[in-house]
Amino acid sequence: MSLLSAQGVTVQFGGEPVLSDVSLAIEPGEIVTILGPNGSGKSTLLRALLGILPLSAGRVTRAPGLRLGYVPQKLSIDRSMPMTVRRFLSLPVRVGDADASAALARVGLPGVEARQMVGLSGGQFQRVLLARALLARPQLLILDEPTQGLDQPGEAGFYRLIDEVRRETGAAVLMVSHDLHVVMAASDRVICLNGHICCQGSPVVVSNAPEYRALFGLGSQGALALYQHSHDHSHEPDLVDAFGRAPSDPHHGHNHA
């Protein structure tokens, strides 16, 4: 069965619909990316799926015992309040030292337990958030623009890490991203959202959909043209292929062995 599904989900704020009649399903092991313009309801949809926001209509169904890991778009920590990485990893549920250290090592940050959260770089902060999410041993990782505010190498490194985690653990990934290159290079399925689902399917199908072109205005070939052009001419390939795969790679974008 699907890990998580939504049927006819509608969310309203102050009587105004933010999401209308959204239906989707997330299957084991797949990477699904939600794309949409600002204000299209992407973060609202994730919070509705997580049960953080009440539904005005519809329902969300989870597989029995589903383990979720969540990396929010923004998390503010009071700079005046001491908070070590180790303490943060035990919020809200305490974890053992060995598990905390293993999670930090997995995200490429070994030995930072005593560091203050407010002293971390943007990329380190996001990796600690991911480590915290991985402590739940999730079957589904939900990521809300996890690379917002990171520089180009930081984005590329973070998305490579997500791909590695998915391959190693078999966890499915549902993420909101603003990076069209990553979406087209790495997703199994793309959901284009603008208050409702405009179109969804494989990256190739979505990039050629009229609804997608109308929203993003990338010309007749959509984001794949942008991806190919950038790959051919850019001196910074990490931006266009955050997982380090060339378009000729047989596993490019579909690495679910």
What CATH number is associated with residue 18?
3.40.50.300
How many domains does one find in the chain? 1
The CA distances from residue 32 to 58, 83, 143, 233, in Å, are: 21, 33, 10, 28
65-79, 166-180, 211-225: which range is least confident on average?
211-225
Residue 92 lies in a domain: no
Question: Residue 114 carries which side chain, given as an amino acid letter?
Answer: A
If we measure between CA atoms, which residue out of 136, 133, 180, 188 comes closest to residue 161?
133
* Global model pTM greater than 0.85: no
Query: Which residue has 């205005």 as its token pair?
Result: 217
Q: What's the distance, CA 105 to chain centroid? A: 21
Q: Which of 182, 185, 231, 190 is nearest to 209 (CA)?
A: 190
| In-domain check, residue 82 | no
Asked whether residue 96 is domain-assigned, the answer is no
Residue 250 lies in a domain: no
Residue 200 lies inside a defined structural domain of this protein: yes
If pLDDT is split at 50, 70 and 90, which confidence band does 43 have?
A: very high
pLDDT at 220 over 80: no
Q: Is residue 189 part of a domain?
A: yes
Q: Is residue 155 part of a domain?
A: no
Any domain includes 39: yes
The segment with the largest mean pLDDT, out of 89-93, 180-184, 204-208, is 89-93
The pLDDT of residue 212 is: 87
| Winning range, highest mean pLDDT, from 12-21, 75-84, 238-247 | 12-21
Domain region containing 238: 1-67+174-243
Give which of 220, 230, 196 is closest to 36, Cα–Cα.
196
The answer to whether residue 54 scores a pLDDT higher than 80 is yes
Q: Cβ(148)–Cβ(71) under 8 Å? A: no
- Give per-residue pLDDT as tens, 86-105: 999 999 889 999 999 999 99
